[in-house]
Copies of this chain bind each other. A is one copy, B any other.
Amino acid sequence: MGKNLLIVHGGGPTAVINASLYGAVEEAKKHPEVEHIYAAKNGTGGLLKGEIIDLTNEPEEKLALLLQTPGSAIGTSRDALEAPEYEKMAQILKEKEISCVLMNGGNGTMDTCGKLYKACQAAGGDVRVMGIPKTMDNDIAITDHSPGYGSAALYMAQSTAELCADVKGLAIHVVVLEASGRNAGWITAASALAADQGGDGPDLIYLPERPFDEDQFVADVEELLKKKKGIVVVASEGLHDKDGKPIVEPIFKVGRATYFGDVGTHLAGVVIKRLGYKARGEKPGLLGRCSIYMQSKVDRDEAQLAGEIACREVLKGTTGKMVAFKRISTEPYKVEPFLVDIDEVMMYERTMPDEFINEKGNGVTEAFKEWARPLLGEEIRKMVSFN
């Protein structure tokens, strides 16, 4: 009997989520027993409305563009689901005769994955679900790192290197670059690799893993201003004080979501007010997860591989597992894929370990840089300075 496969995207996209989709589709095409390669249109939100895209006969040249398309080419969603919705999805899968499901997402999506699997069992079907890891934030447990992070890290490292060159050349201000990652500092930390360009990296790095002390920040900047007139600070969007209170005020509330002010602009304001020195904040925000120019080749290849493996496994009969990567060696860089129980990764948020953060809490260690460097997929472009 033929099999129908369904791919579902969950949560925020990355620069390589579509590379995993491509990997899964290409793998499925190699298996003659696969009748239809389906995708949920706009994630579980669309699936619940029965909106399904059939990718089976899409031409190869169109599919290959997935490797250079940011965002989610089949759409994704971020809705919190309730029990009856899982039952409904199980029902839809039954109707469409879908027995193999691949869910691509972060630790929230892995939770969905596990619950869908149980709902399908309860509905009496033989549905298998496999998870493909994806997050720019790199906060999924157990795996050495997650597809999506390498590209976000390259974006942050290269952008910081360029910003440092700009600020060194026109040394008139403190520039605070806001980095994504509210609870985990992996992306913020990657800015340290900017120094690989051959010159200076960022002067200060503030991670959400450490409480932020405004007085210490002002003292840090003041000290630096004695030596130079242009300073680059990288700060996580999720900085909070020692009591866990975000350093920026919540400015708006819409439904369950709270919107905070921009950390970069806030800290620039602190410099202006308390030190009377020029400052500005920059916030690339979503641009940091969708840059194709700064897509990491290592990240893209691993994302594609994760999609391939998940597809191969689900067709073999494996279920309730997520593809993960184990670091075999850093120099030369080598990872090995393996499977992990979905139960072990769902809803767990992995932050930076202490050995990756410096003692003063305003920078990272060499150990972090060694670990992160190969994930960029290429070297930070070399630069020159004569001043």
Contacts and interface: CB of A to CB of B under 8 A. Distances in A.
B74 A41 contact: no
A7 to B, nearest CB: 11
A256 to B, nearest CB: 11
Interface stretch (A112-120, A159-167, A316-324, A329-337): A159-167
Contacts of A289: 166
A73 B65 CA distance: 37
Contacts of A162: 70-71, 287, 290-292
A280 interface: yes
Number of copies: 2
Contacts of A386: 39, 41, 53, 55, 58, 73-74
A217 to B, nearest CB: 17
A71 B197 CA distance: 13
A170 B290 contact: no
B170 A77 contact: yes
A168 interface: yes
Interface string A272-299: 1100111011111111011111100000
Interface string A111-145: 00000000000000000000000000000000000
Contacts of A292: 158, 162, 381
Contacts of A71: 162, 164-170
A73 B159 CA distance: 17
Given A41-B387, A385-B73, A287 B280 contact: no
A81 interface: no
A66 interface: yes
Nearest to A382: B65
A262 B262 contact: yes
A78 B172 contact: yes
A80 to B, nearest CB: 13
Nearest to A51: B387
B282 A259 contact: no
A251 interface: yes
A70 B284 contact: no
Contact of A42 (B12, B55, B164, B171): B171
A191 B387 CA distance: 34
A1 interface: no
Contact of A285 (B72, B158, B282): B282
A269 B251 contact: yes
A252 B171 CA distance: 20
A83 interface: no
Contacts of A58: 386
Interface in A369-387: 381-387
A265 B265 CA distance: 10
The 4 nearest A-B residue pairs measured at CB: A72-B169, A71-B169, A71-B165, A75-B387
Given A159-B291, A162-B287, A162-B290, 15 more contacts: A13-B169, A66-B384, A70-B383, A71-B162, A71-B170, A73-B383, A75-B169, A75-B387, A159-B287, A254-B277, A254-B278, A262-B265, A282-B284, A283-B284, A292-B381
14 contacts: A12-B170, A53-B386, A68-B382, A69-B385, A71-B162, A159-B287, A166-B290, A259-B272, A262-B262, A265-B265, A280-B285, A283-B285, A284-B284, A293-B294
Interface of A: 9, 12-13, 39, 41-42, 46, 53, 55, 58, 62-63, 65-66, 68-78, 158-159, 162-172, 175, 251-252, 254, 257, 259, 261-262, 265, 269, 272-273, 276-278, 280-287, 289-294, 381-387
